[in-house]
Amino acid sequence: MSSYTWLIVAAVLLATELASGTFYLLMLAIAATAAWFAQLTGTSFLSQALVFLITSAILVTWVYRYRKQKNSTSSPHADDILDAGEIVSVNEWHNGIGHTHYRGSVWQAVLQTPDEHPQAGEYRIVRFEGTRLMVTPL
């Protein structure tokens, strides 16, 4: 086997990784580089393949756990926190639902504490519930 085979495999995996952006192929490219180093020491192809497989398994498992941990610690409503406290103007209400313009779109506004007769005016965003803004009067 050519002394550059593992490097070619690593280069192909790296190029494919740049197109996909998943990090898993990057880990395989690193493992192929580790197998190339094993080849430089004069080990057999079986040993090189074992280095590739073991290194791949360790690195891919590490990326999987890191991404799983990162996804579980992030809040699904992280953007809502940025909008809390913003002021919106609700011009009219119909059956407890108002309409307001916020961030370039028309949103439905609902009072956080339901009131029988909400009035047109300024309201503060408390949170989102689906596609509705939960608001409270100023």
For residue 90, the domain's CATH number is 2.40.50.140
pLDDT exceeds cutoff 80 at 79:
no
Residue 47 and residue 84 in one domain: no
Residue 64 and residue 9 in one domain: yes
Beta strands in 6-131 (DSSP E): 87-90, 93-94, 97-102, 105-111, 121-129
Domain end position, chosen among 31, 54, 73: 73
Dist. CA 51–CA 34, nearest whole Å: 7
Q: 1-10, 12-21, 129-138: which has the minimum mean pLDDT?
A: 129-138
Q: What is the pLDDT of residues 53-65, one digit of tens each?
A: 999 999 999 999 9
Domain extent for 122:
78-137
CB 118 within 8 A of CB 98: yes
Residue 85 and residue 118 in one domain: yes
Strand order in the sheet with 93-94: 87-90, 121-129, 132-137, 105-111, 97-102, 93-94
Report the SS3 class of residue 137: strand
Residue 87 and residue 100 in one domain: yes
How many domains is the chain partitioned into structurally? 2
Mean pLDDT along residues 65-77 = 71
Tokens at 108, concatenated:
């439905």
Predicted pLDDT at 117: 75
Residue 12 and residue 59 in one domain: yes
